[in-house]
Amino acid sequence: MNIKEIIENNINNLIYHNNVVDFIKENNIEYTENKNGIFVNISIIDEEKLIKLNQCIINTINYEKIKTNIEESQKLKITIPHKKSSDKSPKKNLKLNKNQIDKLNSIK
């Protein structure tokens, strides 16, 4: 698979395209724009810019995944009471990520 095919595949995994649009504009890559978005003919972009463009796309995808994981883990809370019955202190709220919750749920 060549870099152009990789870019075409990766671009579809993006939620937000702002970083890619900024990259295109900052690197003076020719594009057309209409109400549907920005269109780039990647067949006329030199190899070095294609590699950098793909890295920009990959970085954005990774950022979006991390951001989503953080947001999901912040939504999940589990309350675990203290083991001592004589202890009258309040319950502690723990924040667990999805993987930790899945592991807890797998214990039977």
Q: What is the DSSP string of 46-105?
A: -HHHHHHHHHHHHHHHHHHHHHHHHHHHHH-EEEE--S-TT--PPPEEEE--HHHHHHHH
Q: Judge if 17 and 38 occupy the same domain.
A: yes
For the whole prediction, is pTM greater than 0.85?
no
How high is the pLDDT of residue 87?
A: 55
Output the average pLDDT for the chain.
Answer: 84
**Which amino acid does the sequence have at 4?**
K
Regarding whether 85 and 33 lie in a shared domain, the answer is no
Q: Considering its fold, how many domains does the chain have in total?
A: 2
Mean pLDDT value across residues 4-28: 93
Asked if residue 90 and residue 63 are part of one domain, the reply reads no
Residue-level pLDDT at 77: 66
Q: Are residues 60 and 81 in the same domain?
A: no
Q: Do 82 and 60 fall within a single domain?
A: no
Higher pLDDT: 78 or 29? It is 29
Domain that holds residue 95: 76-106
Q: Are residues 58 and 25 in the same domain?
A: yes
